[in-house]
A and B are shown apart, each in its own frame.
Chain A
Amino acid sequence: MSEKIKFTIDGVEIEATAGQTIMQAADEAGIYIPRLCAHKDLLPFGSCRVCTVMVNDRPQAACTQPVSPGMNVESETEELRQIRVNLVEMLFVEGNHYCPFCEKSGNCELQALGYRLGMLAPKYPYMFNKHDIDASHPDIYIDHNRCILCARCIRSSKELDGKNVFQFVGRGIHKRVAFNSDTDLAATDVSVTDKAIENCPVGAILKKRTAYAVPIGKRKYDSQPIGSDIEALRAEVK
């Protein structure tokens, strides 16, 4: 079962286990591939495409593509950085992302990717669509303005919490996360300790009464780019 496979990412030879995805193998080798919908505790999903890499000159999602012997993967190229930053910029203009007052600012994966990929301002026109806020639950609130439709809450609830609190409704631009209740979030069996709450990469699902606890300068991505933890493994792997 544990057949070893060799392939390269940006010219670096990687040893992986058969059945792993490119992203899993890269993470173990200490090579960070940017991602938003992918999460180490969740099954591969492949919706955001931020982890797009070139595999033998064809674009593939690193989070879903299995490794195969001798494959030539490119990740840190200017072309791919441009694709990734375009995706991040589209998410910024589609939602209403007010970083200046968002509770998640400094710990937000979308924002951190903007920093890492060099986004100074999105090049696309802002949409300013109206989205709802649900603050019905005593411990949790949901701000759909900041939702990037990564489905981490949906998948975490099913795969990790053994519940089924969230689901997508609507298509295209009308797609949004809905709750498994006839009324609001408070009427579901969601709990503040659910992984579905913790695994939101942005400020869309937040715990009440926990805001701004960490001062500016000491938050997760204030001085270290996202992915630094994975890249720190590289020194050890070498």
Chain B
Amino acid sequence: MAKPKIATASLAGCFGCHMSLLDIDDRILKLVELVDFDKSPVDDIKKFTGRIAVGLIEGGCCNEENVHNLQYFRENCDILISLGECAIMGGIPAMRNTIPLKECLDEAYLNGPTVYNPTGKIPGDKELPLILDKVYPCHEVVKMDYHLPGCPPSADLIWQALVALLENKPMDLPYEVIKYD
């Protein structure tokens, strides 16, 4: 029987959650015995090669591309997990949510004290993904099946949750591994 596939993505995140995934240390050898890594920045596979058992999403949605990527994952993953505070509540990028988008862009590209921008324009190339009015938690864009909090979620939390899912056992997580920071 073929091994189940795992896929990961970093949307509006800092890759800290992916670092935490790698922080499971030598258990990663056990993990590759249990699963095949599919589309993920870890192995640089760009397209899904088949149905995915578990998709791990780091980061919320701050632009159009994040939304498309997240929808693409939802279509292809049996179980989709919000990994970390940014996926769950927007995190640091969501700090702009209380400020109108135009004010954010003006500050970043026109008025900021260190800005050097002789064109006096806000970047608007078609190649750039369109920025959203605010940063959205993943579960406000598509259905998410599980949420693993933390900044980043601890390696123990990721490991125990993944093993429980792959072995079809209840996710009985100890108090110490659930943290929102």
B97 adjacent to A115 (CB under 8 Å): no
A225 adjacent to B175 (CB under 8 Å): yes
B85 adjacent to A99 (CB under 8 Å): yes
User: A interface, by DSSP: helix, strand, loop or mixed?
Assistant: loop
B97 adjacent to A120 (CB under 8 Å): no
Q: Among residues 113 to 150 in chain A, which have CB atoms less than 8 Å away from a CB atom of chain B?
A: 114-115, 120-122, 125-126, 128-131
B92 adjacent to A115 (CB under 8 Å): no
* Stretch among B26-34, B50-58, B63-71, B134-142 lining the A interface: B134-142
A99 adjacent to B151 (CB under 8 Å): yes
Within the complex, which residue of B88, B178, B181 is in contact with A105, where a contact is CB–CB below 8 Å? B181
Q: Among residues 78 to 94 in chain B, which have CB atoms less than 8 Å away from a CB atom of chain A?
A: 82, 85, 88-92, 94
**Whole-angstrom CA separation of A115 from B137 in the bound complex:** 20
Contact A100 B180, CB 8 Å, known A120-B149, A121-B147, A128-B97 = yes
Within the complex, which residue of A111, A126, A223 is in contact with B180, where a contact is CB–CB below 8 Å? A111
Q: How many residues of B contact A (CB 8 A)?
A: 27
B90 adjacent to A99 (CB under 8 Å): no
A128 adjacent to B134 (CB under 8 Å): yes
The distance from the CB of A27 to the nearest CB of chain B, in whole angstroms, is 21
**Closest B residue to A121 using CB positions:** B147
- Indicate whether B176 reaches chain A with its CB closer than 8 angstroms: yes
Interface mask (B10-36 → A, CB under 8 Å = 1, otherwise 0): 000000000000000000000000000
**Whole-angstrom CA separation of A34 from B98 in the bound complex:** 31
**Whole-angstrom CA separation of A122 from B90 in the bound complex:** 12
A100 adjacent to B140 (CB under 8 Å): no
- Indicate whether B72 reaches chain A with its CB closer than 8 angstroms: no
**Whole-angstrom CA separation of A101 from B180 in the bound complex:** 10
Interface mask (A212-238 → B, CB under 8 Å = 1, otherwise 0): 000010000011010000000000000
A99 adjacent to B181 (CB under 8 Å): yes
- Indicate whether B77 reaches chain A with its CB closer than 8 angstroms: no
- Indicate whether B148 reaches chain A with its CB closer than 8 angstroms: yes
**Whole-angstrom CA separation of A125 from B94 in the bound complex:** 13
**Closest A residue to B97 using CB positions:** A128
Contact A126 B89, CB 8 Å, known A102-B181, A114-B180, A121-B139 = yes
- Indicate whether A201 reaches chain B with its CB closer than 8 angstroms: no
| 15 residue pairs A–B, Cβ–Cβ below 8 Å | A96-B95, A98-B85, A99-B180, A101-B181, A111-B181, A115-B178, A120-B146, A120-B147, A125-B140, A126-B89, A126-B94, A126-B140, A128-B90, A128-B98, A128-B134
4 interchain residue pairs of minimum CB distance: A100-B151, A99-B180, A121-B147, A128-B97
By a beta-carbon cutoff of 8 Å, the part of chain A in contact with chain B is 92, 96-102, 105-106, 111, 114-115, 120-122, 125-126, 128-131, 216, 222-223, 225
Additional A-B contacts beyond A121-B82, A222-B179, A223-B175 (5; CB < 8 A): A100-B92, A102-B181, A111-B181, A120-B146, A128-B94
